[in-house]
Amino acid sequence: MVATPAIDQKQLGVFISYSRKDVDFAQKIVAALEARGLTPRIDTRDLPKLEDWRRELLGFIREADAVVFIVSPNSILSPVCAWEVEQVAALNKRLAPIVLERVSDDRIPEAIARINYLFFDKADDFDARVDELAHALQTDLVWLKEHTRVGELARRWDERNRPGGLTLRGQELQSVEHWIASRPRGAPEPTALHKSFVAESRRAATRRLRLTVAASLAVGVLALGLAAFAVTQRQLAEASRSNAVRTLATSDFRQGTSLLENNDTTSEGMALLSRSVREGQDKRALARLWTLLQQRRFWLPAQPDGTAAVAAGPVQSDAIPDAIKKRYKSVTVNGASAQVKFISVSGDGKRIFTAIGDNVEATDAQYRIWRSDGTPVTPWIKPPYNGTSYVASLRGYLSLDGNLLALDVTGWRETAYLQIIDLKTNQQIGSDVRATGRLPNSQNVQFSRVQFLPEPAHAGADSSMLLFTVSEKGDAVIFRVDPSGIDMIAKSEHAAPIVFAELDAAHEWLMTSSSDGILRVTRLAGGAGGELIGNVLHLASVATSIKRVGNDRIVVTLGPGNSPFFALSSVVKMPLAGPVVSEQASTGCKRWDDGVVYAMDAPADGKLRTSKGELSRPGPRQLAVVREGGQVAVSPVFSNEVILVCLGEGGDSLAVTTSDFVTEVWTTDFSRRLGLPIVERRLFGQGTTPQSTKRVFVPRDNRRALIASSLWDPPNVDLQWYSLWDLETGLPLMDRTLFENTMGDDEVERAMIDPDAKYVAFTGHSNKRFVALASLDLTPPETVSGWLPDLVEALGGLAINNEGAFEPVPDRPGKIRQGFENIRQFAPGVDPGSRPGPPSGRSEAGPVPNITPSPVPPVARVQPDPRPIAASQPPASSYDPVGTVRAFYLALSRADGDLAQTFVIPEKRGSGPFNPTSIRQFYSNLPSPMETLSVELASNDVVNVKYRFVRPNGSECRGNAAVTTTFSGGKTLIRGIAANC
């Protein structure tokens, strides 16, 4: 049987990855998918020589829109299947694992283990399972087809040495840029090649436009010599030049804003936005830079402050004592002498690792552990190997106490991997750790550093150990190793070989540099792969050493006598913004899902009225406005179900949000859409996806939109994300910022944009008043456009030269000093270069934000309700904190969300833990009702509560809560809750 025909371009193409031993089941899957309108491809031929089958199978995978992997003991042991999965991951194809026969979790490759399986191990539900598989594969069909199409265009461009003639142009380029920006949740990411192809296409388009500008200027010069047409030609040339400049500025704004979303391209994005401001006077680019300088921190050149550099943590010496080298120069195996290829010694000197094996002499690679006195700890062991050829290199690294072994296995012309062995049990811990990174090399790729380090007791369990790895593919990674498994806690990625990598003494910072002059500092964080600290530094030469100095400084060695200091610092710290104008009833919202509108946003009668009439939803994906005379204005049909509509501040616009986190702003008669759709999910990442959009604010000028979205993390945390968008381009104007609200004092509960779009205020309760706790200024001083681009380029370290290429900024310290002086001179009241305390929110663009906190929030600056919540001391007989709290917890135990929220102050009803739907869902899913163990008055306004409940997974919460109450409207009401679980 031969391979199936090429994939039908009108249907979803699916490649089937399977073991030849499971071919009957694979062909059954093919037939079932074909019957459901898909185009599966399966290769059932005998495999030719290595180069041929790899080339052909890679072509099949590239052409496919999705890949089905059949999980069985046979496929897990198959080197070909393992290779296919690696290619699928590299190409970011949608992968759907289906289980024919169950395999233990520790044997499943990581690329498959993190995806939900479909189980086909029961014959009686085969058709139902195939229906599920077909539906899952075809989700976001159009987006997946474009992923494949653009991937093939990018591959052809790359294989032909990236010629300009093969880049995207015109409308197709804009379409593909929008495709990247509108990735559906759950769809595979565009690959690095996708992004490079589109970025180079945009750069080529920019160069062509710049030639247009030059030509326009030439026409202008020529026109000066043509007396009869001089005025007309000058006007035409100037109009053409102005149009081209605006187009270039918009292009720079689009590309620069997108690059800011990636830590590794922030400097390039800052340079593009700076050019947009300098040459095109683009106000959107200026606003984006202004918010960036308020939210992020940067590594700025600094002077030594007398603080000594912190020494690195304990380092295990790689030096092998001569006596051990002599003893283990050769060993006897099965009566024959074998030369030892690799030796290592544990930190305490009590155990020795030896490896033998020679591919030239065709002897198998094996290893053995010895005690220092020469007695063996283990027999000779051949490492497990699932590659396509044979083990070419075997190394081993012991922990300080000799109880852990990192076994480094490299197959012939393959990428190395580590197996972490617990020598107490001789069992592998977790899955294989593979050398990963951005560098494209894949043959004989090894680890350049493998080292165990003890984890400080304050950072984790005493029994855990850190594993420090650096690979030749450009990554430095820190893992936490304990008997339960391996957890990656920091990863520093470089696009060039790593020259230096080290941890600070406290094991909090991973500091790395690469041969291209890039320096990164990454904070260790469990399960998140680390968090970039500050910005990526572009240095004039390669850093050969980096040391942490104090809390927020580093000293970098660039050569003899050249060791500059850098300090982590904010750039612009604005004073707290002025008064927030209270929202009128006309700026309310209406929603149609299970979410709840903020109490102050909900119309009193539940009806949203615009200047054109009352809003209704005649169908799930359509809206209508009905005038008093009966005329009806109908919206277009939206792509997904409409869940939220908010009226703009000017009363002449409607923000319409659909279930897929897309917001469009329309005139109230639906005659015109104001700008492009806002695709909020472009900013989502792992662990940062909300439940729904909560509120959309559109200022009077209808140019921007502030979007609030949230997720309730039961039982007491409301996660809130805020993002500001430019409507014309559909691009973000600030870093998406997260606040965690536990309903206590001095916590951000919501954000509002000034009706005139001058600032964003983050508001909450403090000292029984609703006040601004932080703010983000949106109106930079008028003079900044003349000097801010120079400062921003110096901060990022890159500028764009006349040829359109990025290059290092000369005299970076001098330009930063001049920029700070300009801030002091031309922006009075702005604090440049300050070092903030703990930030009030977390930016998800990477660096820590600096949203301006107010040390003592001034009450008079914020309405909607400037009055104290408790305006006067209530009569003792009417104020009953214990009774109110007891009634509230009784309602919780009954999962009665509607009753529970009546005991809460009106402005907090419907939000976070006071959301009736969330209360109902959480407490009704408990195996048994929550028990209230005690309710006791702690002070005049605070009640302490002890309670107990069992979660659906069987774990128990024994909780303690401090409930703050107040007296309002003649009632005792709950103002906030601080609970531990």
Q: Given this model, what pLDDT does residue 360 score? A: 61
Per-run averaged pLDDT (10 residues), the chain, 981 residues = 40 89 91 89 62 75 90 88 86 88 78 76 81 81 77 84 83 76 71 83 74 54 50 58 77 91 89 94 94 92 72 58 89 88 92 85 85 92 84 92 94 90 92 86 86 72 80 93 89 92 92 94 73 89 93 92 91 67 58 70 79 90 86 89 93 94 95 93 84 92 94 85 95 93 82 89 82 88 88 93 86 89 74 44 46 32 28 52 88 86 83 79 86 87 90 83 84 84 78
3-state DSSP assignment of residue 239? helix
Residue 494: closest CA among 510, 515, 509: 515
Residue 288: closest CA among 265, 264, 272, 309: 272
- C-alpha–C-alpha distance, residues 546 and 310, integer Å: 10
- C-alpha–C-alpha distance, residues 378 and 422, integer Å: 12
Q: In the structure encoding, which two tokens stand for residue 171, read together?
A: 């409308």
Q: Given this model, what pLDDT does residue 598 score? A: 62
Q: Given this model, what pLDDT does residue 878 score? A: 63
**Quick one: CA torsion of 44, 49, 50, 56, rounded to 10 degrees?**
-50
* DSSP at 381: B
The continuous run of DSSP H or E covering 546 comes out as: strand 545-549
What type of residue sits at position 633?
A
> Residue 318: phi, psi to the nearest 5?
-90, -5
Cβ atoms within 10 Å, residue 401: 15
Q: Given this model, what pLDDT does residue 359 score? A: 66
What residues are paired with 485 via a beta bridge?
482
The continuous run of DSSP H or E covering 118 comes out as: strand 118-119
The three state secondary structure string of 556-609 is EECECCECCEEEEEECEECCCCCCECCCCHHHCEEECCCCCCCCCCCCCCCCCE
Contacts of residues 378-382 at CB distance under 8 Å and 24 or more positions apart, as own/partner, are: 378/423, 378/426, 380/333, 380/356
Asked if 417 and 434 count as a contact pair (C-beta separation under 8 A), the reply is yes
Cα separations in angstroms, 546 against 107, 219, 557, 561: 39, 54, 6, 14
- C-alpha–C-alpha distance, residues 925 and 75, integer Å: 39
Q: Given this model, what pLDDT does residue 299 score? A: 93
The owner of tokens 């180069």 is 51
- C-alpha–C-alpha distance, residues 445 and 416, integer Å: 6
- C-alpha–C-alpha distance, residues 345 and 352, integer Å: 5
Q: Given this model, what pLDDT does residue 232 score? A: 56
The continuous run of DSSP H or E covering 230 comes out as: helix 230-260
CA atoms within 13 A on the CB side of 518: 19
Cβ atoms within 10 Å, residue 847: 23
Cα separations in angstroms, 965 against 287, 590, 942, 978: 41, 29, 6, 12
Asked if 842 and 849 count as a contact pair (C-beta separation under 8 A), the reply is yes
Asked if 435 and 447 count as a contact pair (C-beta separation under 8 A), the reply is yes
What type of residue sits at position 557?
T
Asked if 385 and 409 count as a contact pair (C-beta separation under 8 A), the reply is yes
pTM: 0.66
Cβ atoms within 10 Å, residue 708: 19
Asked if 738 and 531 count as a contact pair (C-beta separation under 8 A), the reply is no
The owner of tokens 């494209």 is 440
Cβ atoms within 10 Å, residue 558: 18
Q: Given this model, what pLDDT does residue 230 score? A: 54
